[in-house]
Every structure is written in structure tokens, then in C-alpha cells.
Structure 1
């Protein structure tokens, strides 16, 4: 039996995690359906469907959204897997009780295979339709760079995975699980990480570890990644992260908006993504922790001497930074009021800054 004890109760962070995945699925699906005949949702560690307190986990949230939408009912394919046969059986029974489940054109597929080398090889040989993959192992066994790379390789395929920082941190120097850690980071990067973590503080260990996995994702084609941090109940220690990875900036932008709204800490309108402020030597995490005060100066510097639409400013600048579209509009309004930029049209509804407003930045002094 696989230890899936976190299904015994639905803690607030579990609900937030499920909510992030379900919200992204909906936004992603609506875009994909414009360009594909069918789409898929694939959950490789699906669990029993409900927490012990009766709350719905991700599979039920996804299926309920599909049932409620006429287009999704016809075009969504779902696949749920859990190596624990009891979990798979429970999920099957729970799904069968969903109201109007039989209105789905494609019956949910459920299996109880182990996620490992065999399934990775199979995925590497497949050509997927646009698919959203959710990989949520209890620990880290089965989660590997090759698996993530195989699922994001095809067009329209994004991945959200559970990064169990506590267990990974404990397992990095454990010879018994070395092969699993090496599979997750890549052997060379894992060895480098083990070396540089010696004598590091707990915060430094976390920053270095999450930075390492995000850099590894870039190397396998996951150019756009976003980590979202979950702390323990006392908010003193990290329990795990939910990491989004995509090859497409559109998906990245959508997920950033969703994660920003789910952040419990927001300063100056900037979402924390649940991160403590990372020092500059961790470039990806540091970029995700920059305050709003810096954004105006960043824009004046990067776009000096250019005339450019607001939406193009956002698209060119926001990747790897915590800012969402509203932050850019707020800062551009402030720069306009300060006379630091020229806008066209200058006369608009009060306190608005549309996507097509042209901005002329002054030359550098």
C-alpha cells in the first residue's frame, strides 16, 4: 500500500492546491479548445477522489467543471492513475456517483500502474493531444525530469507537479534514495546540489533546492516555470511547493494570475507566491520577490527611448518576475501622473490604462 495519509483530512493548503489546478485547467482548456478537436487531463497520482472529511480533490473538481460545460462534455478525455488499487477503486466509485457523469462523451479512464521507467518510455514514444498533466506523488518516487520532459514535449501540453521539499531535503544525502533524487534533478545537478548545500542555513537550502529544479526544467524545455510555496500550519517552515512548467508564455501568464490571487501575503499589490524574499544570488527566486517600488525604474531603464503599447510592455517584461498585468497598469499610471512618460491617447477614463495605450519612454539621462 502506498502511504496516501494526506487524504485523511483536507487541510487548507490541500484545498488551495486543488483550487489552483482546477482554475488553471479551466482557463487552459478554453484556449486549447479553440485549436484542437479534443483535449486531455491526466492525473498520475490521483488518490481516492475525496478527503476523509468529504471534500473533493482535484479529479472530482475537474470532472464537475467538464460536466457543467456543453463543449467540454464532448471533447475532454480524462485519465486517472494511482498505484494503490484501493485508491483507484475508491475513485472509480466516487466518480460513478457524480450527477450526470454519463453525459461525458469520453468515459474517465482509471488505472493503477506504478509511475516509473516503463511509463516514461511509453510517454516518450507517444504524441499527445493538448493535455494538462498533474503529477502529485506523496513523496518523490516516480517524479523525474524525464517524466516531466516527456509530458511537456508536445504542443499544448503543460504540467503541474508537487515538489515535496521536506522529503527531498531529507533525501538528498540518503544513499538509499539516491537514484530517485538523481532522476528528479539529473545526476550532475544533484551531485552539485549536495556539495553546495553543506553548512547552508535552512532558508539557503530551500532557495538553492528550488532554484536547482527550476533551472533543470529550463534545460528540458520548460522555459516558463512558477513555484508556489506552502508552509506548515505555523507558517514557520516550508512543507512543499506546487510547480507549474510550460513551453508557452500564455500559460505562464495565466498561472501567474491564478497563483497571485491564491497568495496569502500581498505587499504593495505584489503577490508573494508564498516565498520569503530570496537574496540576489538565487536569480529566479529573487526575481519573483521584487517589490512594486522597483517596477517603475525597471521599465524606464529597459524601454528607454521606445514607444510601445502597454500589452507589449507586459509581454516582454513580466516573465521571471512577480508582477501581473494590473501591477504594470498601476505603475504606468503613476509614471504618467509624475510626467515621466508620454501616453497616447492621453485622455482616457480616469485611472484606466488600456492594453493598446501607447507609451513613450524618455531616453536615458
Structure 2
């Protein structure tokens, strides 16, 4: 049973599919280069809750977008192994037909595989017990059944393996205090952590509760070796609160930076050029007219304190500071230019000797920044 999830492609689903497909494209390009350097024979894409391949309105979902990309790129068509799974036999039947209807799908060296099974401990054991080739995995359950720290850890444990998973915040938020789904919450957060969370969450405001749950999830994943966690939130249609999130997990900082840029571009709002890492349909109806948070001023203050008395390149400032923040590379370039203009820092070469790009002073990766 498809739960009506694929009845139509809602705007938020389109954004989700775009984020996953764009990261797959970038990840695959990096892996093709590695294959040429180190002789990799295979790379893989795994989708454990793949759905029927198309929404009822005919729009392609993620499996078909990934396969089309591979068909269009010979080097990728040669390397890519794909494994799709869904617990609904009707979805698997539809997906197989959708794949067979793709033009030139025969160009894929490895024929796509579509399976019908429940995702649970057996799947986790399978991934845990084998060393997998570089793999990008997408875990997109309807609710929380089948989603666990163990399955996420098992698909990112090896080199070149990254994962994106769907976090249904509304249902998980409700499930945390529901004893009938305790086993699912234990599998996702860990039994000791979720017990402490239940106590702490009592009396929290909805906003604080949301931030706390996402932070605890990130810490639970980091305990298992996932070094970099990046969430992208989707708001309800009225923009009031988060309904769900797309969460990226990797052990590689380059993957983190690539996905951060993709999610930044998918954000529905910016504040002083700092992306929200959120998508809200309400933002198009009610755009921000002015900035209240002043995030660039906050960045300037933090950089002054963090790097006091140091001299280092722009790129090193960015790499040392941006992990776990909403700031992207262009935010650092812009604020460092502003700080130089106001005399808070000095730069070598100075602004007068750096070129203008589209009416703005450049601040290249190798510009040396001195903090007093």
C-alpha cells in the first residue's frame, strides 16, 4: 500500500528529489575521477524505500532521475550498480516497468535491481557484514518504521559512502512519548538517550523541542562515527513549524561542503545572504522584508574572537569555522571584505590590489587575513 504518498508530487517533494539528485550527480562525478585514479570497478546507489518511480501525475521520482543521469554519462553507466527496494509489491511492479520504459536503459552495464522486502534488522546485518563499494544511499520511509541508527551507520561505514535520510519530524515528535512505538524510537536514538530526552522534553516550547530533537539525533549518529551531519528542514504549508527534514550523513568534509552548497541553493529564504537551510511554501507568499537576526554581524564578531592574533588564508578561515553553521563560502568572503573596509582586519593583498568581480571586490581563497 503506497499510503497515498505518491498520489501527486507536492512542491516539497520536488525540492527533496532535486536535492538528492543533485548530490548524486556531484558525488558520482567525484567517484568517476577516483575510479580513473585508483581502478574502482563499481559504485552504487541504494534506495531502500524507492516507491513506484513516478508520482500519479507522471512526474519522475528519485530512482528515475538517478538512472537518467547514469544513462546520459557513459563513464557512470559503466560503473553504477543500483539497488531499489520497496515493501509494497505494487510499487515494485510499477518501478520495474518505469525503469524498462526509460530510453536507452540498456546502456547501463549493470541492470537496475528492484526488490520487495521490509527494511529491518536483516538489511542492517547484510550491510554490516560486508564491505560495500563507494555508495550513496537514500532512506526515505513513510514514517519511522525501518529507520534506525544501525541501518544508517551500516551504509556509511566504508570509504566513499554517504547517506541521506528522510526524518518525519511530526510523526517522530509524537512517537517519542508513545510507548507503543518505543522500540522504533530506541532504534533511532538509542535507548539511554531517548529515556533522557523524554524527561528533558517535558515543558519545552515547540521551537526548542524541535531544535533539541534534531541535535540529539545528530549526536546519536556521531556516536556511531558519522562525523558530519547536515539537516534541511521542510515547513508546513503555513510556515508555522517543521513537518519533516532531509538529513545528510557523511564522514568526508568534501561531501559535507558539496551538500551544504546544494541545500543552501534550495533554501526558500536568505538573511543577509545567509541561507535558511529550510524550505517553506509560505516564504513565497510572505518574503522577509528586512533582517532581524543580522547573521553577518554575528559572523564578524565570532571570527574576531575565534581568530584573534592569527594570520591565515581565507580558505582556512572558512574550513575551520563553517562546520555546523548556516554560513557558506560566499558569506565569509563578503564579511571579510566588510571587516577589512572597516579596519577590523588587514588583508594581503589589500582590497585595492584585488580585482572586481560583478561589481564586488574579490576575496580569493589564498588572500592572507590578519586578525589583531
* Pick aligned residue for 1:129 from 129, 133, 153: 133
The CA deviation string for residues 184-239 of structure 1, in whole angstroms up to 9 with x for no partner, is 11111111111112222222221221111111111111111011111121212321
1:275 shift after superposition: 8.5
Aligned equivalents of 1:235 and 1:327: distance in 2? 25
Aligned pair 1:20/2:19, yes or no?
Answer: yes
Q: Which residue is 1:282 aligned to?
A: none
**Unpaired runs of at least 5, structure 2:** 281-292
The CA deviation string for residues 20-55 of structure 1, in whole angstroms up to 9 with x for no partner, is 001111111111222232211110000001111111
Aligned equivalents of 2:16 and 2:6: distance in 1? 13
Aligned pair 1:33/2:32, yes or no?
Answer: yes
* Pick aligned residue for 2:370 from 357, 360, 364: 360
Matches within 5 A, 1:1-365: 1=1, 3-36=2-35, 37=40, 38-274=42-278, 291-346=295-350, 347-350=353-356, 351-362=361-372
1:290 shift after superposition: 8.0
1:87 shift after superposition: 0.5
Q: Contact 2:235 / 2:279 at 8 angstroms: preserved in 1?
A: no
The 3-state SS of whatever aligns with 2:114 is strand
Aligned equivalents of 2:77 and 2:154: distance in 1? 27
Aligned residues: CA RMSD = 1.5
Aligned equivalents of 2:3 and 2:30: distance in 1? 33
**Unpaired runs of at least 5, structure 1:** 277-288
Q: Which residue is 1:279 aligned to?
A: none
Count of residue pairs brought into register by the alignment: 349
Aligned equivalents of 2:26 and 2:247: distance in 1? 17
Aligned equivalents of 1:144 and 1:235: distance in 2? 28
1:114 shift after superposition: 1.0
Q: Contact 1:4 / 1:47 at 8 angstroms: preserved in 2?
A: no
Q: Contact 1:230 / 1:239 at 8 angstroms: preserved in 2?
A: yes
Q: Where has structure 1 moved over 3 Å in runs of 4 or more?
A: none
Aligned equivalents of 1:188 and 1:56: distance in 2? 41
1:342 shift after superposition: 2.1
